[in-house]
């Protein structure tokens, strides 16, 4: 028997099964579907609160932080020394450092202020410094 004849036979058997089951399905009453409630669309973000706006603020904060670190090599060295530590150990060391260097803490909060303001204005949760 050729491949063509076997394929045609398989198609006829499948078609008969499909038509036969269609008759059974047609005889059954169809339930009336209950329409699902339409999802409530998310409200638009406040003005100047898009992800693009956030990226712009973040790039400004990053540039300011880079400048701060390069003009304060001791602070840059401290934060660089934290690489490879566990999150808990980093948090503890930063808390100790900020307690011993309140001016650095104030200056870094100032560098971060544009992002803090953006998050508050746009209804996003605050991101605390590691010691808070």
Instruction: Report the pLDDT value the prediction gives residue 10, as an integer from 0 to 100.
Output: 46
Q: Give the integer Cα–Cα distance in Å for 55 and 61.
A: 10
3-state class (DSSP) for residue 39: coil
Number of domains in the chain: 1
Number of residues in the chain? 132
Instruction: Tell which residue, 108, 100, 114, has the closest CA to residue 129.
Output: 108
Q: Is residue 66 part of a domain?
A: yes
Domain-located, residue 54: no
**Which among 131, 121, 8 has a CA at the least distance from the CA of 54?**
121
Instruction: Count CB-CB contacts under 10 A for residue 94.
Output: 19
Whether 105 is in a domain gets the answer yes
Tell me the pLDDT of the chain (132 aa) as tens digits. 444 444 444 445 545 555 555 555 555 656 677 778 888 888 887 889 999 999 999 999 999 999 999 999 999 999 999 999 999 999 999 999 999 999 999 999 999 999 999 999 999 998 875 544
Sign of the C-alpha dihedral computed for residues 93, 95, 101 and 106 taken in this order: positive
Parent domain of 103: 60-121
* DSSP state at residue 84: T
Give the residue among 69, 87, 85, 65 at the shortest CA–CA distance from 77.
Answer: 69
């Amino acid at each position: 028997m050729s491949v063509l004849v076997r394929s045609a036979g398989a198609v006829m058997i499948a078609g008969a099964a499909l038509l036969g089951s269609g008759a059974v399905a047609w005889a059954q009453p169809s339930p009336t579907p209950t329409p699902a409630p339409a999802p409530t669309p998310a409200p638009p973000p406040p003005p100047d609160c898009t992800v693009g706006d956030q990226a712009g603020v973040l790039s400004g904060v990053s540039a300011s932080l880079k400048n701060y670190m390069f003009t304060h090599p001791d602070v840059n060295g401290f934060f660089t020394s934290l690489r490879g530590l566990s999150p808990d150990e980093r948090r503890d060391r930063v808390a100790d450092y900020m307690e011993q260097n309140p001016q650095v803490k104030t200056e870094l909060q100032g560098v971060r202020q544009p992002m803090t303001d953006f998050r508050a204005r746009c209804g996003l949760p605050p991101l605390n410094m590691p010691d808070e």
